[in-house]
């Protein structure tokens, strides 16, 4: 394939930062465009110079490297901005995947933008979209919605809060976990998620030689843990959405549909059916489609049979 067909479309202004997605495990996932950018820039900022040097060596690329990671991101951003002021082009890569998604890079991008320089995304792999693409969770009925929580907080109220988000969400939840904490986190899912019929998809070592993707209902997790868990490699997990969202007071919507109907009836004097559905959906009282049907029945009680 003639790569120049694609590279001729590339605009590379000077004094700009190029945020480059890199493979999450399989070097074959690097894009033609990413390689072209890494070969063309004046320098490459990266999360770990040793890791990036290995990637560049495999691609036959030699460039000055600058370490920009979570511990020095603000200070190092100033140094990179000075290079951009001199008309140089720089790239930024994290250790794996797309920068700024549970990886350093977001603060760097923010500072570069504040300094008035252009920033160009060079798309690449991400564990989020990789696992979601084979999950079957984003069906047409879900409207493609999901919530991404990154790496979960380790303990306390923050950790309790994310499990509360999962319990309330009718959308699927995806998050990352390390091999050192995966067993505890999966056990915490069992203890904190109320509906054990919800689906669970566990991806390990995505795109690598020993990639595994396991699909099971949450209720089967104890058996899976005892026979399948290998605590090595990075994990991505998807918890299927709740069949319906519990309300703010903690009672089941199936037991409170009359109250919701009464609420819809009151609101119908002031709002249209679509507006009522939007309110019910955004406050997670029920899905937008179910709320819209309820609002229509409230406005047209003769159609209720």
- Tell me the pTM: 0.76
> Any residues with CB less than 8 A from the CB of 26 and at least 6 apart, and which?
207, 208
Reduced to 3 states (helix: H, G, I; strand: E, B; else coil), residue 18 is strand
Q: Give 209's Cβ-side CA count (13 Å radius).
A: 0
Structural domain ending residue among the three candidates 125, 156, 182: 125
The token pair that represents 14 in the structure block: 């000077």
Whether residues 197 and 283 share a domain: the answer is no
Give me the mean pLDDT over the 138-157 stretch: 83
pLDDT tens track for 71-126: 898 889 999 999 999 999 999 999 999 998 888 899 999 999 999 999 999 999 99
Identify the domain containing residue 289 by its residue range.
253-304
247 part of a folded domain: no
Whether residues 45 and 143 share a domain: the answer is no
Whether residues 170 and 89 share a domain: the answer is no
Whether residues 235 and 132 share a domain: the answer is yes
Whether residues 120 and 137 share a domain: the answer is no
Q: Comparing C-alpha atoms, which of 178, 168, 134, 186 is closest to residue 244?
A: 168
22 part of a folded domain: yes
Whether residues 36 and 59 share a domain: the answer is yes
CATH number at residue 162: 3.30.950.10
244 part of a folded domain: no
pLDDT tens track for 221-256: 999 999 878 888 899 999 999 876 554 434 444 444
How many structural domains comprise the chain? 3
């Amino acid at each position: 394939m003639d790569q120049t067909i694609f590279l001729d479309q590339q605009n590379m202004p000077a004094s700009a930062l190029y945020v480059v997605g890199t493979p999450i495990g399989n070097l074959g996932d690097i894009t033609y465009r990413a390689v072209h950018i890494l070969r063309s820039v004046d320098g490459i900022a990266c999360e770990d110079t040793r890791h990036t040097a290995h990637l560049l060596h495999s691609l036959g690329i030699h460039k000055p490297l600058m370490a920009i990671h979570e511990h020095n991101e603000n200070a190092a951003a100033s140094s990179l901005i000075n290079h951009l002021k001199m008309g140089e082009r720089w790239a930024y890569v994290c250790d794996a995947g797309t920068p700024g998604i549970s990886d350093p890079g977001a603060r760097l991008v923010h500072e570069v933008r504040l300094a008035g320089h252009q920033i160009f995304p060079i798309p690449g792999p991400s564990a989020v979209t990789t696992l979601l693409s084979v999950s079957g969770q984003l069906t047409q009925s879900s409207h493609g919605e999901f919530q991404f929580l990154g790496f979960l907080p380790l303990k306390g109220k923050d950790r309790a809060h994310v499990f509360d988000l999962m319990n309330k969400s009718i959308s699927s939840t995806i998050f990352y976990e390390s091999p050192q904490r995966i067993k505890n986190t999966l056990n915490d899912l069992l203890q904190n998620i109320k509906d054990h019929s919800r689906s669970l998809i566990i991806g390990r070592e995505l795109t690598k030689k020993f990639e595994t993707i396991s699909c099971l209902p949450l209720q089967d997790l104890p058996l899976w843990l005892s026979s399948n868990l290998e605590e090595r490699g990075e994990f991505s997990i998807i918890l299927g959405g709740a069949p319906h969202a519990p309300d703010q007071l903690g009672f089941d919507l199936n037991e409170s549909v009359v109250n919701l109907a009464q609420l819809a009836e009151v609101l119908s004097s002031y709002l249209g059916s679509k507006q009522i559905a939007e309110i019910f959906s955004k406050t997670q009282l029920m899905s937008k489609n179910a709320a819209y049907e309820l609002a229509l029945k409230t406005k047209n009680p003769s159609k209720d049979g």
